[in-house]
Amino acid sequence: MCQLIVSPNGNVPEWDYIESSYLANGDSWGAVYLGNTLRKVCGLAEDWANLALLHEELSDLQAPFLWHFRWATLGSATRKNCHPFAVSKDIWFAHNGVLNIPCPVPDRSDTWHMAQHFKKQNLTPERLKEKEIKNWLRGLAGHGNKFGFIDTAGETTIINETAGEWIDEVWYSNPSALYYTEPSPRFDWYTGETETELVEYDTCETCSVRLTTWNKVSGVPLTCSDCWETLLAS
């Protein structure tokens, strides 16, 4: 599912839209916005307070931004998989959809893998404006995916723009996610049950990341795989 929000002029969605996007896609969220430079802020399902603070900050700043709410389909629900991703020193990228591409790095999302591909293409803000590059990006996205880019000048680019919707000068990749009033049901592939409420998750005692089937170390209490590897290497 996911929700990608693009604001070229710094218009900020009303809080109800942000809350609904979070309830529909609550695995993680992240934003890149223009201050003195591009700045990324991200959080997980439990980071509700920081989400509200970001909404207040963007409302005061009124600067261009990408804001993404993630429904994890591939890769763990951790900060390292939070959109947007840097694809050059001047450009950040976020995505809504599921990409049918090779994903050889375990625990990393399809979007992260696409970002690594973009890093090899020498993308620049000028090249993003070229018709040939936009056509190439549309070919990568196909019909079911939407891409958003922002550069250090605050210029935004949307691929498959017509698949989303503009509301008050803000673009939403998934308009249906704006009208949730309660958490979206989530099917747990491991238990065969459907969760209908946001649940309390265990977190790593070292870094506070949410522990899931993907990143919890078997037999080790309240430790994520990243911190466990660091501990073993020390």
Domain spans of the chain? 3-179, 202-234
Distance CA 211, CA 225 (A): 9
Per-residue pLDDT of the chain (234 residues; tens, 9 = 90+): 799 999 999 999 999 899 889 888 888 999 999 988 899 999 887 787 888 899 999 999 999 999 999 988 888 888 999 999 999 999 999 999 999 899 999 899 999 999 999 999 999 999 999 999 999 999 999 988 999 999 999 999 999 999 999 999 999 999 888 876 555 454 443 444 544 444 344 666 776 665 554 455 566 677 767 777 777 777
CATH architecture of 3-179: 4-Layer Sandwich (3.60)
- Non-local (6+) Cβ contacts of 168 within 8 A are 11, 13
